[in-house]
Structure 1
């Protein structure tokens, strides 16, 4: 099943889409107004999120699929983390921007992956909301990534994430990574969560990105999550190890779509990321 969230005034409605039909789960269970509520219920019952949703959908009213174009952030994660240097081209790009290139090669080849804190809820936006580029950076890029959705550390679904980054700041000194990665509107997620049971194989999904400026295409690229050097289970395990993970979290898995070194995002650009079986995440750009 596919899960999205609609805003209704100051309330939210959890929508489940199954076989092309959209069901309003909140209409049946008013306290069920987000994916976190659904995941918590499934965890208590010891069943999958799809089993809970299917039971509720049997009594739920349907809504027009057209209304889902207004879907908002599909979940409010307690924390967003990210993995880096999981694709060869990303490792090469970060080598080229850095004065210490060997450290990225070591991370790509090492047993331990690079995993870093990315965003809080207040720094995370949903579909069609503006992502931010820092005013103190002149080289900024989007990073399209498969996002793993975890409840109590277990993988319950997948989404699309945009790990917006300042390549200038990180390239100046790797110790500046937190400033390059974590700031206002630095992350977008959406437009939906697809349950883990509904994704055929998270390591065989086509991922593409387009960047437009004034109606003109500035960048387009396509890849596969099959090019990732690590598995989702491996990344999730390292994220959980020796740490108290949040109840509801998202772990971004890295990117292999890297614009040429001469490209930087500008205000009013539009970034569109598509991943098979999940959908399209679109965001305009502003300076923060």
Structure 2
């Protein structure tokens, strides 16, 4: 199942899509207004999110497919964290941009992955909202990633994430990473949360990115999450290790889709990220 947040009758609603159609879960149970409510109910009842949703489908309003054409941010995490250098091409790109390239090779080959803080709720946007590029940066790129949605440190679903990055700032000095990664509108997630049973193997998903400007595609590429050198389980383990994690979090798992070094985002560029079994995340670009 895929879970969306939409506005219906002037209110926020939790909507589920399965093979039989699209259903308003909030209409069947007013306590299920957010994905976080569904995850909490699943933990309390020792069930999966899909099992909780199934219990309410018969009483839920069935909706037209148009209901999920313009979804809102599907989940508002207390924190977003991210992993870096999990694909070979990402390691190569980080080496190319950096004044200290050897440190990235050491991370790629080491036992411990790179895990860093990415965003707070007010720095995170949803589908069809603008992502940001820093005004003080002259080399900016999107980073399309598979996101693991966690409730109390346990995976409850998957979404698409865009880990916006100021490569020029990070390349000056690796210690500038927080400024290159954490700023207004630095992260987008959506369009849905797909349950683990819907995703299947998270390490066998096709991922595609398209960046266009004035109607012309400037960069398009695809990969498979099977190219990731770390597993989602491993990354989650290091994120939660000795760390008091919040109830709801997203962990982004790294990127393998890196535009050429000559490319940098500009305001009004359009970014479209597709991940198999989840959907399509679209965002425009603005300067912040």
The corresponding residue for 1:203 is 203
The corresponding residue for 1:278 is 278
Residue 29 of structure 1, CA deviation: 1.1
1:127-163 deviation per Cα after TM superposition (whole angstroms, max 9, x unaligned): 0000000000000000000000011101110000000
Matches within 5 A, 1:217-232: 217-232=217-232
1:207-238 deviation per Cα after TM superposition (whole angstroms, max 9, x unaligned): 00000000000000000000000000000000
Residue 28 of structure 1, CA deviation: 1.4
Q: Which range moved further: 57-66 or 39-48?
A: 57-66
Matched, 1:242 2:242: yes
Residue 66 of structure 1, CA deviation: 1.4
Query: TM-score by structure 2 length?
Result: 0.99
Q: In structure 1, what is the Cα distance between the partners aligned to 2:198 and 2:167? A: 35
The corresponding residue for 1:78 is 78
The corresponding residue for 1:30 is 30
Residue 20 of structure 1, CA deviation: 4.6
Q: In structure 1, what is the Cα distance between the partners aligned to 2:54 and 2:61? A: 13
Q: In structure 1, what is the Cα distance between the partners aligned to 2:211 and 2:20? A: 29
Tell me: CA distance 1:10–1:62, structure 2 relative to 1, closer, same or farther (3 Å).
closer
The corresponding residue for 1:49 is 49
Which SS does the other structure have where 1:169 is aligned? Answer: helix
The corresponding residue for 1:156 is 156
Which SS does the other structure have where 1:112 is aligned? Answer: coil
Tell me: CA distance 1:59–1:264, structure 2 relative to 1, closer, same or farther (3 Å).
same
Q: In structure 1, what is the Cα distance between the partners aligned to 2:132 and 2:7? A: 22
Q: In structure 1, what is the Cα distance between the partners aligned to 2:209 and 2:146? A: 12
Unaligned runs of 5+ in 2: none
Q: In structure 2, what is the Cα distance between the partners aligned to 1:272 and 1:144? A: 9
The corresponding residue for 1:104 is 104
Which SS does the other structure have where 2:82 is aligned? Answer: strand
Residue 9 of structure 1, CA deviation: 6.9
Residue 247 of structure 1, CA deviation: 0.4
Matched, 1:255 2:258: no
The corresponding residue for 1:90 is 90
Q: In structure 2, what is the Cα distance between the partners aligned to 1:206 and 1:20? A: 24
Q: In structure 1, what is the Cα distance between the partners aligned to 2:32 and 2:67? A: 19
Q: In structure 1, what is the Cα distance between the partners aligned to 2:9 and 2:126? A: 17
The corresponding residue for 1:12 is 12
Matched, 1:115 2:115: yes
Q: In structure 1, what is the Cα distance between the partners aligned to 2:10 and 2:94? A: 42
1:240-282 deviation per Cα after TM superposition (whole angstroms, max 9, x unaligned): 0000011010000000000000000000000000000000000
Q: In structure 2, what is the Cα distance between the partners aligned to 1:240 and 1:18? A: 31
Query: CA RMSD of the aligned region, Å?
Result: 0.9
Matched, 1:69 2:82: no
Matched, 1:133 2:137: no
